Amino acid sequence: MFNSKEEFIQAFSEKLRTTIGKEVETATEQDAYRSLGALVKDHINKNWLQTNQQYEKEQPKQVYYFSMEFLIGRLLGNNLLNLQMLSIVREGLTDLGFSLADLEEVENDAGLGNGGLGRLAACFLDSLASVGLPGHGHGIRYRYGMFDQKLIDGYQVELPDPWLSEPYVWEVRRPEDAVEVRFGGYVDTGVTPEGQLTFEHKNYEQVRAVPYDVPVVGYQNETVHTLRLWSAEATQDDTLALAYKQSMSGNYLTHKRSLEETSDFLYPDDSHEEGKRLRLKQEYFLVSAGVQSVLRSFERMELPLSSFPEKIALHINDTHPVLVIPELMRALIDERGMSWEDAWEITQSSVSYTNHTTLREALETWPIGLVRELLPRLYMIIEEINERFCQSLWKQGPGDFDRIAQLAIIADGQVKMAHLAIVGSHSVNGVAKLHTEILKSREMKKFYDVFPKRFTNKTNGITHRRWLVHTNQPLADQITEAIGDHWITQPERLQDLLAKKDDSAFLDQLGKVKQQNKQQLAAFIKDVTDITVDTQSMFDVHIKRLHGYKRQLLNALHIMYLYHELKSNPSFEMTPRTFIFAAKAAPSYYFAKKVIKLITTIADVVNDDSDIQGLMKVVFLPNYSVSMAEKIIPGTDVSEQISTASKEASGTGNMKLMMNGALTLGTMDGANVEIHDLVGDDAIYTFGLSSEEVLHYAHHGGYSARKVYDSDARVRRTVDQLVHYSPFSKGSTEFQDLYDSLITYNDEYFVLKDFANYIATQQRIGYDYLQKRDWNMKSLINIAHSGKFASDLTIQQYASQIWNIQPVNIVR
Ligand code: 26V
């Protein structure tokens, strides 16, 4: 480590010479970024090696977190923070004429995820390393991550995200740990002379899985864990290559491409399960490579297989990696000669599963034919698991065919991945209290009745180091000045801030920090969109994936309503507002894309209208990403968390915004409920139907959007602007389908039902915003309670209640 700025400058200049072959004077920002990355990596490597050696020697139980998504974003700043190198590096670079902030911008975001589920995985890895709990990630090294979103004429257009176009400084390719993954072919069943069944997989196609390891650096400890990202390559089988050359000449390249294609793209849709063959191939690719790799490290310990669950926990992030269950069974039975019963015992006691959604259309099911064709041996194993499970159900309730049909893993021509996950694991958890209750009492009730002890809640969390210490340094400094820095390693200590609740000077300062952050955000907005916003106005922020249930449409309709009032009602009073949106829509999600077009249209109309100047601006920031979130969140006043109650499993943006002093305007959904319980009625703005009411309507009917439309003039006036001649529709049919979704198709997400309530709550929040001292006090109450949502705490609950792993102190 560097003890001084001078030492750093010397090491950095030397790195520039040895890696890039340049002197500081001629180095570009790209050069400087790469040398700095390499320098930081040198330091990481020592701890990485040490961590691995100590784990090999002490053999603690370790968790492997399997996830199709790790939305890690940029690593430079976070790694510097965790290595305690931030200030020396910042100052040294400044002396050399570089700015650390600018170098951070050089790094491409690793956008290997869609949204909350992928970001959660990244936060969990950070926390595991930072609290010293032995745990690593297994994921896919997609050649193209989440698509780049461009706006053309206000419409979303998707472009590929070539994040690997520059060398990725953090990864290490480890060809020596490559494994083969097999697809297709058929299974030859035989019997040994001793009467044991054998299964031989034949005529398969083989893909080589090569791991690229990314270090996960703990906060100011010596721990460095591994995020192992698998990349697909054509197998290095020379005989295959030769055969192709001789018999089918040109086809070898096509064949090679088709194998490598496996890890090309992240599927950018997290709302509609499509049953695509390549997606299933990706899932098995991750699972098979990961399970082989875990078994290799286990076998290096030279312990009996029966102790596998004492040394290893396998966690699956949603059902996407659920094939871990049959794959481990296959490895134990076919390749290690174990009995079904023993293999089942090991598998079930090692695997645990998190459910992240109750939306029917997002639940994974795969057509039997596809699974059987692509994964013939795994299909046999799934059939056997299903058979045995259905038999056990029969024993509990003979003759209850309905129940068995509803719980079966294979039914209606489909393999139901959630059923496989519940049956094949020892733990099923939801991601917020409300979500877990809905799983237990409704969506998974029948399973809960069979396995009551298996279900638990683990409310999501976020790493406060990235989302507060790193991205909001002014606020972090103010907190530390007031209560010391213990909160950085013990986030629940943020509660000590409550002592400052009535301290005017402190509250004042909190307001100043927010103001400073808003100015930075305004500069960013200007830079990206050329829109000038008023930093004295209330910054109202709605940032997340675009989904019907997240109700960006409700927010948009409210802006249309305000605009109409401002234009037509001279006595209408309103706190000046800046509405900020950022959201990507799945490329095939027609409705979501229309909502983007509506928001960008509203922005064009409102921002151009001289009557409205000083009162309202609307901004849609294109290409939302982790690094963009880091810029928006510190400057937010109001956090929009307005999902249809019962639909948002947890939310994590709500936690990040709260932690940065924004007040939540939200429904009683997901973790909003827990935010409400913590901060109390006065420091959150809740509105709308309860989850019970929504679920009641969903099951029993009785909601008529048209009745709301007919009876509420404000609803009618606003909704009509979508289709009648208005500044937004300009007489076109552009928004006819949005209108139809509300009126003709009865408003699936209860937008109109909650509209009046939303207007009233927005009015109240606008008024309260002007009471600066009170507002700052509410902001402080939110920050003080946000430590509850630090992922360090969440991960400790997973560790003690699900994985049974203990912390290890790495010493150098
Ligand atoms: C589903 C699918 C299905 C089609 C293929 C691609 C794909 C990719 C992801 C998903 C999962 C959607 C579930 C999800 O992201 N849930 C979110 O999880 C967050 C972390 O627990 C939680 O905060 C959000 O409320 C929840 O919506």
Q: What is the band of 255 on the pLDDT scale with cuts at 50, 70, 90?
A: confident
479 pLDDT higher than 60 = yes
Q: Respond yes or no: is residue 277 known to be catalytic.
A: no
Residues 714 and 755 sit within 8 Å (Cβ to Cβ): yes
For the CA of 460, the nearest atom of ligand 1 = 21
Shortest CA distance to 747 belongs to which of 590, 596, 553? 553
pLDDT of residue 464: 98
> Residue 484 CB: number of other CB atoms within 10 A?
11
For the CA of 670, the nearest atom of ligand 1 = 25
Identify each DSSP E strand in 90-147 by its residue range.
110-112, 135-140
For the CA of 273, the nearest atom of ligand 1 = 4
Which residue in 74, 228, 466, 550 is the catalytic one?
Answer: 550
β-strand partners of 373: none
The DSSP secondary-structure symbol of 634 reads: G
Q: Respond yes or no: is residue 202 known to be catalytic.
A: no
SS3 content of the chain, % helix, strand, coil (to 5): 55, 15, 30
Tens digit of pLDDT for each residue in 83-134?
A: 999 999 999 999 999 999 999 999 999 999 999 999 999 999 999 999 999 9
For the CA of 274, the nearest atom of ligand 1 = 4
691 pLDDT higher than 60 = yes
Considering only CA atoms, which residue is closest to atom 7 of ligand 1?
Answer: 270
The preferred substitution site among 316, 318, 463 for testing ligand 1, maximizing ligand atoms within 8 Å of CB, is 318
Which residue in 235, 358, 471, 652 is the catalytic one?
Answer: 652
Which residue in 356, 435, 465, 785 is the catalytic one?
Answer: 356
The preferred substitution site among 123, 147, 356 for testing ligand 1, maximizing ligand atoms within 8 Å of CB, is 356
The preferred substitution site among 67, 70, 112, 117 for testing ligand 1, maximizing ligand atoms within 8 Å of CB, is 117
Considering only CA atoms, which residue is closest to atom 2 of ligand 1?
Answer: 270
Q: What is the band of 243 on the pLDDT scale with cuts at 50, 70, 90?
A: low
What is the 584 CA–ligand 1 centroid distance (Å)? 14
pLDDT of residue 450: 97
For the CA of 279, the nearest atom of ligand 1 = 5
| Angle at alpha carbon of residue 114, lines to 690 and 157, rounded to 5° | 105
Which residue in 225, 617, 656, 778 is the catalytic one?
Answer: 656
Identify each DSSP E strand in 243-356 by its residue range.
312-317, 351-354
Burial 573-591 (b: 16+ CB within 10 A, else e): eebbbbbbbbbbbbeebee
What is the 579 CA–ligand 1 centroid distance (Å)? 26
What is the 270 CA–ligand 1 centroid distance (Å)? 6
What is the 280 CA–ligand 1 centroid distance (Å)? 16
Tens digit of pLDDT for each residue in 749-806?
A: 999 999 999 999 999 999 999 999 999 999 999 999 999 999 999 999 999 999 999 9
Which residue in 545, 551, 577, 778 is the catalytic one?
Answer: 545
**Cα-only R_g, the chain:** 27
Q: Which residue has the tokens 């939305």?
A: 71
What is the distance between the alpha carbons of residues 381 and 326, in angstroms, rounded to a whole number? 6
Residues 121 and 460 sit within 8 Å (Cβ to Cβ): no
What is the 269 CA–ligand 1 centroid distance (Å)? 9
Residues 140 and 112 sit within 8 Å (Cβ to Cβ): yes
The three-state DSSP-derived secondary structure of 217-259 is ECCCCCCEEEEEEEEEEECCCHHHHHHHHHHHCCHHHHHHHHH
Torsion from C-alpha of 602, 151, 636, 690, nearest 10 degrees: 70
Structural domains of the chain ordered from first start? 1-58+75-108 (no CATH), 59-74+109-460+796-803 (3.40.50.2000), 464-789 (3.40.50.2000)
Q: Respond yes or no: is residue 656 known to be catalytic.
A: yes
Q: Respond yes or no: is residue 545 known to be catalytic.
A: yes
Tens digit of pLDDT for each residue in 368-392?
A: 999 999 999 999 999 999 999 999 9
Q: Respond yes or no: is residue 617 known to be catalytic.
A: no
Residues 142 and 264 sit within 8 Å (Cβ to Cβ): yes
**What's the maximum distance between 2 C-alpha atoms anywhere in the chain?**
94
Burial 141-157 (b: 16+ CB within 10 A, else e): bbbbbbbbbebeebebe
Give percent above pLDDT 70 in the chain: 98
Q: How many residues are there in the chain?
A: 812
pLDDT of residue 238: 54
Task: Estimate to the nearest angstrom the gap between the alpha carbon of 156 and the chain centroid.
Answer: 21
Q: Which residue has the tokens 């000077």?
A: 505
β-strand partners of 617: 578
What are the Cα distances from residue 757, in Å, to 510, 719, 750?
30, 16, 12
The preferred substitution site among 68, 280, 282, 357 for testing ligand 1, maximizing ligand atoms within 8 Å of CB, is 357
What is the 358 CA–ligand 1 centroid distance (Å)? 10
Residue 326's φ and ψ, nearest 5 degrees, are -65, -25
Residue 198's φ and ψ, nearest 5 degrees, are -125, 150
Structure tokens at 715: 């609803």
Mean pLDDT estimate for the chain: 96
What is the distance between the alpha carbons of residues 664 and 640, in angstroms, rounded to a whole number? 6
Contact residues of ligand 1, CB 6 A cut-off: 114-117, 120, 267, 269-270, 273, 318, 356-357, 362, 431, 460, 648-652, 670
For the CA of 362, the nearest atom of ligand 1 = 3
What is the 649 CA–ligand 1 centroid distance (Å)? 9
Residues 442 and 395 sit within 8 Å (Cβ to Cβ): no
What is the 557 CA–ligand 1 centroid distance (Å)? 26
Q: What is the band of 239 on the pLDDT scale with cuts at 50, 70, 90?
A: low
Tens digit of pLDDT for each residue in 548-588?
A: 999 999 999 999 999 999 999 999 999 999 999 999 999 99
Q: What is the band of 240 on the pLDDT scale with cuts at 50, 70, 90?
A: low
pLDDT of residue 241: 62
Torsion from C-alpha of 375, 379, 381, 387, nearest 10 degrees: 180
Which residue in 136, 518, 544, 631 is the catalytic one?
Answer: 544
237 pLDDT higher than 90 = no
What is the 117 CA–ligand 1 centroid distance (Å)? 5
Give percent above pLDDT 90 in the chain: 94
Torsion from C-alpha of 194, 197, 198, 202, nearest 10 degrees: 140
What are the Cα distances from residue 708, in Å, to 307, 667, 753, 755?
62, 19, 7, 9
253 pLDDT higher than 80 = no
For the CA of 120, the nearest atom of ligand 1 = 20
* Antiparallel, parallel or unpaired: β 148-152 and 155-159: antiparallel
β-strand partners of 179: 209
For the CA of 354, the nearest atom of ligand 1 = 21
Tens digit of pLDDT for each residue in 508-552?
A: 999 999 999 999 999 999 999 999 999 999 999 999 999 999 999
β-strand partners of 411: 414
What is the distance between the alpha carbons of residues 293 and 228, in angstroms, rounded to a whole number? 10
Mean pLDDT of 315-322: 98
What is the 227 CA–ligand 1 centroid distance (Å)? 20
β-strand partners of 414: 367, 411
Shortest CA distance to 355 belongs to which of 440, 265, 228? 440
